[in-house]
Amino acid sequence: AESPLLITQDDAVRTLTLNRPAALNAFTTQLLSMLRTALDEAARDDSVRAVVITGAGRAFSAGQDLSDAMIKPEFEPGGKPKDIGTLLDHYYIPLALRVRSMPVPVVCAVNGVAAGAGANFALGCDLVIAAQSANFIQAFAKIGLIPDCGGTWLLPRLVGRARALQLALMGEKLSATEAVQMGLIARCVPDADLAATAQAVALKLAALPTRALVETRRAFDEAMSLDYEDAMKLEAVMQSHLGFAADYQEGVQAFMEKRAPQFTDR
Ligand code: T3D
């Protein structure tokens, strides 16, 4: 059988494609493990300067595979429902943190529906670009759960409490266009252009000073829990380090010499 995760590389861009199209790329524990391993490998590989995550077929991901053995409640007498908390602790949390700590930028190309953990996994990536026909569904409430895979943290921060509650409680389909208008995602493009746009964006990111991009993500995340002054103090500490790095020297020198910079830090 074909692998549930396809891994390809074009130039400095590593692309990970969720590949269980018949189940709308729902996450099994196997797929979650493979995704995390693939991200670990990309993180270790210096030839990789940007990652694209996308899905095969008509969906990005329908979230947790509700038929996967680990979570299927057993209703036989004496059978116990499996603990979803354990599933989150062992699979979803490390995966989401892996994305958030990648040493290179991560672009999510949402090619179709992104539901439940599939939506929130996508929203945790650095840049989310959706196909026009894609949509986002906070499907959790419909099956008696709360938004997970970072949803409770991400949604109110991305769109504010009122809209976050609207999305999470109603669990309605949100089109890619509405998602852009709401500020949930950065960009939406015609379906036919999605793959090429994601690749072009990733290539552009790959040519930029990687360390500065990753430190920007980290500064934004850390500033969430800081006051104005402390955020600026953190900026000063991070800027101090970046100011001694080769990329800064190259960036300034290239500017002065009116040539394209060649960034190498990662
Ligand atoms: O225990 C836990 O849940 C742990 C925590 C998990 C976090 C979560 O992710 S909870 C949310 C889980 N996801 C959902 O509740 C979404 C379920 N899926 C849907 O609501 C719909 O499939 C969609 C709205 C995403 C798409 O609808 P539609 O009509 O375009 O497609 P479909 O016919 O429903 O699905 C196509 C196939 O994919 C179908 O299989 P079949 O009948 O052709 O053999 C369907 O069963 C399968 N599929 C879709 N979603 C899942 C799935 N199989 C397993 N798990 C899924 N989540």
Tell me, what's the pLDDT at 62?
98
Instruction: State which ligand 1 atom lies nearest to the alpha carbon of 67.
Output: 54
Tell me, what's the pLDDT at 60?
99
Tell me, what's the pLDDT at 237?
98
Q: Does residue 229 share a domain with residue 202?
A: no
The answer to whether position 265 is within a domain reads no
**88-103, pLDDT tens digit by residue?**
999 999 999 999 999 9
What mean pLDDT do residues 205-234 have? 98
The answer to whether position 11 is within a domain reads yes
How many A from CA of 241 to the centre of ligand 1? Answer: 46
**28-86, pLDDT tens digit by residue?**
999 999 999 999 999 999 999 999 999 999 999 999 999 887 777 665 566 666 788 98
Is residue 191 within 8 Å of residue 133, measured between CB atoms?
yes
Q: Does residue 55 share a domain with residue 16?
A: yes
Helix (H) or strand (E) holding 120: helix 117-123
In whole angstroms, give the CA distance from residue 33 to residue 167.
Answer: 28
Q: Does residue 148 share a domain with residue 96?
A: yes
Residue nearest to atom 52 of ligand 1 (CA): 23
% of residues, the chain, pLDDT over 70: 96
The answer to whether position 229 is within a domain reads yes
Q: Does residue 244 share a domain with residue 192?
A: no
Tell me, what's the pLDDT at 1?
76
Q: What is the mean pLDDT of the chain?
A: 95
Q: Is 46 a catalytic residue?
A: no
Whole-structure pTM value? 0.96
Q: Three-state SS for 145?
A: coil
How many A from CA of 258 to the centre of ligand 1? Answer: 53
The answer to whether position 160 is within a domain reads yes
Is residue 265 within 8 Å of residue 246, measured between CB atoms?
yes
CATH label of the domain that carries residue 250: 1.10.12
How many A from CA of 65 to the centre of ligand 1? Answer: 7
Cβ contacts of 179 within 8 Å, gap of 6 or more: 130, 135, 136, 185, 188
The answer to whether position 70 is within a domain reads yes
Q: Does residue 104 share a domain with residue 226?
A: no
Q: Does residue 176 share a domain with residue 57?
A: yes
C-alpha distances (whole Å) from 176 to each of 13, 156, 167, 186, 201 are 24, 18, 14, 10, 18
Select from 168, 165, 99, 96 the least CA-distant residue to 136.
168
Q: Does residue 226 share a domain with residue 184?
A: no
Q: Does residue 242 share a domain with residue 164?
A: no
DSSP tally for the chain: helices H, then strands E: 11, 10
C-alpha distances (whole Å) from 177 to each of 17, 46, 120, 124, 145 are 23, 36, 17, 19, 26
Tell me, what's the pLDDT at 141?
97
Instruction: State which ligand 1 atom lies nearest to the alpha carbon of 117.
Output: 9
Q: Does residue 217 share a domain with residue 143?
A: no
What mean pLDDT do residues 119-138 have? 98
The answer to whether position 263 is within a domain reads no
Residue with tokens 């969906």: 59
Of the two residues 67 and 183, the one the predictor is more confident about is: 183
What mean pLDDT do residues 237-264 have? 97
Q: Does residue 147 share a domain with residue 66?
A: yes
The answer to whether position 264 is within a domain reads no
Q: Does residue 251 share a domain with residue 189?
A: no
Residue 111: phi, psi to the nearest 5? -85, -15
Tell me, what's the pLDDT at 73?
67
Q: Tokens representing 217?
A: 């993500």
Cβ contacts of 136 within 8 Å, gap of 6 or more: 110, 113, 114, 115, 119, 122, 123, 130, 167, 173, 174, 176, 179, 184, 185
CATH label of the domain that carries residue 180: 3.90.226.10
Tell me, what's the pLDDT at 76?
59
Among residues 207, 223, 243, the one where a domain terminates is: 207
Tell me, what's the pLDDT at 83?
85
Q: Is 10 a catalytic residue?
A: no
The answer to whether position 18 is within a domain reads yes
Tell me, what's the pLDDT at 82?
79
Q: Does residue 252 share a domain with residue 189?
A: no
- When divided into structural domains, the chain yields a total of 2
Tell me, what's the pLDDT at 191?
98
C-alpha distances (whole Å) from 126 to each of 85, 132, 254 are 26, 19, 27
In whole angstroms, give the CA distance from residue 181 to residue 163.
Answer: 12
Q: Which domain holds residue 47?
A: 5-207
Tell me, what's the pLDDT at 79?
60
- Find the helix packing angle between 228-243 and 210-223, rounded to 10°: 160
